[in-house]
Amino acid sequence: MKNRVQFGFLVIFLTVLGVLGYNAWLLETTPPERLYSDFLTDLQDGQIASVHLQGEEIRGEDRQGREFRTFSPDIPGLMPQLVKAKMTVSVEPPPSLFNQLAGIVFLIMAVVGLWLVFTKRSFGGGNSIWKDKRFQIRTGPGDTKTFADVAGIDEVREEVIEIVDFLKNHEKYNMLGGRIPRGVLLQGPPGTGKTLLARAIAGEASVPFYSIGGSDFVEMFAGVGASRVRELFGLAKKSAPCIIFIDEIDAIGSRRNGGSGGSHEEREQTLNAMLVEMDGFSSNETVIVIGATNRPDILDPALLRPGRFDRQLTVSLPNLHGRVRILEVHTRLVTVSSSLNLTLIAQGIPGFSGADIANLVNEAALIAARQKKNAVEMIDFEAAKDKILMGLERRNSAINEKERRIIAYHEAGHAIVARLLPETDELHKITIIPRGMALGLTQQVPFEERYTYSIVYLLSRIKVLLGGRIAEKIVFNHLSTGAANDIAAATDIACRLVCEWGMSSALGSTVYRRKQHQFLGDIDTKGDFSEATAREIDLEVRRIINECYEETEKLLRANNRLIHELAEVLLVNETIDAEEINIVMHCYENTEKIRKEQQKDRQRIGQQTPAADTIKEMRA
């Protein structure tokens, strides 16, 4: 389409350029027009040197060498005067009707040609959409996917197995009067395998698979999208049984608002055509429409009603077992070490989608190949995970020693609070090497999946975020801008505690701010409340932050020696993992235990010393 439009604009430009050039040539070569009366006067005075006659047009040149042109209503009556004047006279027959119409015919052909280019039609006929390869058609065994290539979404896969059976044995359902869903809507976060699942359904059923993006239907010309919908469904009915897959269906299926024009009107026409086509399936037509979207909340209700998209399946992020299965699928084509522990890798990547895991395996393979290894090892997966989660290392960043020490103590504060408080996520790695946009990172990984959060966990999370700022203040007695993101995150959690989750004793179980949870992120919707309530909310948020700050400061001051020990280890090693963190913590705990025992011994000896002095005095 892009090349055709560019060609069309080029033709228009050349046509306009040619017309302008032709007009300029006419202005340059056409002599000025002279009144017929003036011509007769000059002819009688003998001022005309020569004339050329073509029909009623007269072109000539006077004695001064000036060219002119005029028109005569009576050429036969003028001829005696021309002969009497004894001048050069030349005659040319008038232009034929064909010559007069040739320019008009050429202009019409140019306009028709441009119209054919822009409407993407051709004299040869056929389906121009398929010639442009706008739709991807898979009818052969080429890159066929099956359920063996799909993992981590077992519940959704079980739901679509019935569709596969219908495509294979639709006579069985038709004989009993059963009707398979005409449409299946796959909704979920990006990268969870919606497109892969649709291809697997077609691969298992061995039927043609027509794939197109929702945005490919909508163009700048009115009616183009609707015609593409009709063409697609017409071809699918001829190829039945088959599957039509529309990716990002929200591009054309979003809610109609009425009264809008322009591109919205074209999109609504396309949606109307799709609604009509999906209603046009008879009960025995085995054409199933599968749509995929990340925004089910904006789809038109008419598209989601029973009879069109009967089933709506949520493809969610995989759990631990699902991530292990996905790792097994993606490592089949990768040479991995025999000591590789996929379960351990899956535990360290909570929240990863199938696409994220595929990227992780690919990054690990690239890292291993860069180091000329024969197999991908656990350390390669760790490096790939750190690169994805924390960003690329910036070892060449010019950070002076003073800032480096501040970063080390800052990260040590985060880690110590996370280790000593209850209901916190496990520490996985601490680094003071700049990665991405961060100067240092303390990475925590939950040991198990969390679906609900207690108030103890949320308050501990706020304290962990404030630990870096407090450690800086305790050690260096000044504040820096390095805690800006931590403070913002802590404030957001405190606001949600008060406004969304009803965990404030002062405001009670009331919602003042609502978050709409969507697959592409949460959207804040503020509630209606008075200025007095807003002030009370601000005071409650500040109270939570201040109390967490004071408790965290007490905790870190009580473990001041641990801050210095962990920071010194970070300054030497720059990056330490969970095992090394445990070693530092155990050494500190043993040292504290010995110190407390020694302190008790000194107190016990101090209590015994006065009694011994009393005995000596009595003996004396």
**Residues contacting 42, CB < 8 A, separation 6+:** 48, 62
Q: Which residues contact 613 (CB under 8 A, 6 or more apart)?
A: none
Q: What phi, psi does 227 have (nearest 5°)?
A: -65, -35
CA 126 to chain centre: 35
19 three-class SS: helix
Euclidean distance between CA atoms 395 and 389, whole angstroms: 17
Short-list 219, 222, 221, 232, CA closest to 276: 232
Contacts of 61 (CB under 8 A, 6+ apart): 48, 49, 50, 67, 68
Residue 450 φ/ψ, nearest 5 degrees: -115, 130
**CA distances, 358 to each of 186, 331, 384 (Å):** 20, 9, 11
Catalytic residue among 248, 382, 411, 472: 411
Query: CB neighbours (10 Å) of residue 411?
Result: 25
Alpha-carbon gap, residue 409 to 564, rounded angstroms: 7
> Which phi and psi (to 5°) does residue 398 adopt?
-85, 90
Indicate if 363 belongs to the active site.
no
Which residue's entry shows tokens 């040197």?
A: 49
CA–CA distance, 325 with 153 (Å, rounded to integer): 10
Rounded CA-CA distance 199/292 in Å is 12
Q: Which two three-digit tokens encode residue 217?
A: 């239907």
Q: Return d(Cα 200, Cα 194) in angstroms, integer.
A: 10
Which whole-number Å values give the CA distances from 297 to 81, 391, 428, in the listed order?
Answer: 90, 32, 37
Cβ neighbour number for residue 569 with a 10 Å cutoff: 19
What angle (nearest 5°) sits at the alpha carbon of residue 413, between those of residues 408 and 416? 120
Q: Are 180 and 166 in contact (CB under 8 A)?
A: yes
DSSP character at residue 72: -
Find, among 490, 428, 427, 502, the residue nearest to 460 by Cα.
490
Long-range contacts of 80-87 (CB under 8 A, 24+ apart): 81/40, 81/43, 81/44, 82/43, 82/51, 85/43, 85/46, 85/48, 87/48, 87/49, 87/50, 87/51
Sign, CA torsion 209/211/217/219: negative
Cβ-contact 183, 309 below 8 angstroms: yes
Q: How far is residue 556's CA from residue 541's CA, in Å, rounded to a whole number?
A: 23
Q: Which residues are catalytic?
A: 411
